[in-house]
Homo-oligomer: A and B are copies of this chain.
Amino acid sequence: MATVLSGTLVAQQLATKLQKRIGLLRQQQVIPTLATIIVGNDKASLLYANRQQQTASNLGINYQLITLSQQTTEQQLLQVIQELNQDVIVDAILIQTPLPAAINPQVIRQQVAPIKDVEGQSAESIGRLWNGQSGNLPTTAVAIMKLLHFYQIAVSKKHVVIVGRSSIVGKPLAALLLRENATVTIAHSYTDNLASLTRQADILVVAIGKANFITAKYVHPGCIVIDVGTNRDATGKIVGDVAFQQVQAVAQMITPVPGGIGPLTVMSLLEQVVMIAERREKQHGR
């Protein structure tokens, strides 16, 4: 029976550290501030924003939630971003997806000032990540690395198989793992014989957004399984991309959903807000 790796526990530890750093910033009259933009009324986006807001508030981070109507044009959204880019109060800007079909998220994300790009999605941020330079990092990928570090799971020389090649998880995670000398395979919807690949993984990371997709046959005994998915199953219950019960019977360690990467991603996001505030304070004072 696999050990369950609690993301909640790691998030709590991180929260304690963050409170101290926020206290120091407050002594300099700086209150870290995150602005989240939601366009339309996607329920999951609003729920996620609520969770950000509560956690931010508990930590002492200011939070601006900007909700725009479904009819918002790309031009109008760009204007809101420009204003937030200029706003000296705002440290970090998050643009929640999904956006309305008429708006191209790729175009939009490139308009966020790289220093305020808390999702680490600007070309500048992504390039710095692959070049090994400091910068804002995609927070889900960071959360996964934090979990591994917390549980002292070294990735050097390990074969990590990542299922999913998104710009917020799969690809940036590969960069972070390579920095720590993991051998990395990136698999995805076009991958042939997926199970024969995933069964070779020392560490298996799944981020594909398909409820309970990874069953026991995909997992080698001794594998460490990281489940990044958050889906609802037919009964409305929140489940991951991994069929938890059957995989837990095979794997060595596994993250649950909920209580795994999710809460740690929110905390990693807020840590990045604090990092940006610290960087701005150091460089410019305020």
Contact = CB atoms under 8 A, between A and B. Distances in A.
A192 to B, nearest CB: 5
A222 to B, nearest CB: 14
A183 B185 contact: yes
B130 A130 contact: yes
Contacts of A169: none
Interface string A191-204: 11000010000000
7 contacts: A122-B127, A123-B135, A126-B131, A157-B192, A158-B192, A183-B191, A184-B185
A121 B167 CA distance: 19
Given A110-B133, A123-B124, A158-B192, 13 more contacts: A123-B123, A123-B128, A123-B131, A123-B133, A123-B135, A126-B126, A131-B167, A159-B192, A165-B178, A174-B186, A183-B186, A183-B192, A185-B185
Given A127-B123, A133-B123, A190 B181 contact: yes
B130 A126 contact: yes
Interface in A226-274: none
Contact of A190 (B123, B157, B171, B188): B157
Interface residues of A, number: 37
Which 5 interchain pairs have the tightest Cβ spacing?
A123-B127, A127-B127, A126-B127, A181-B190, A185-B185
A191 B200 CA distance: 14
A122 B167 CA distance: 19
A188 B130 CA distance: 16
The residue in A123, A157, A191 that gathers the most chain B C-beta atoms within 10 A of its C-beta is: A123
The residue in A124, A125, A156 that gathers the most chain B C-beta atoms within 10 A of its C-beta is: A124
A160 to B, nearest CB: 10
A187 interface: yes
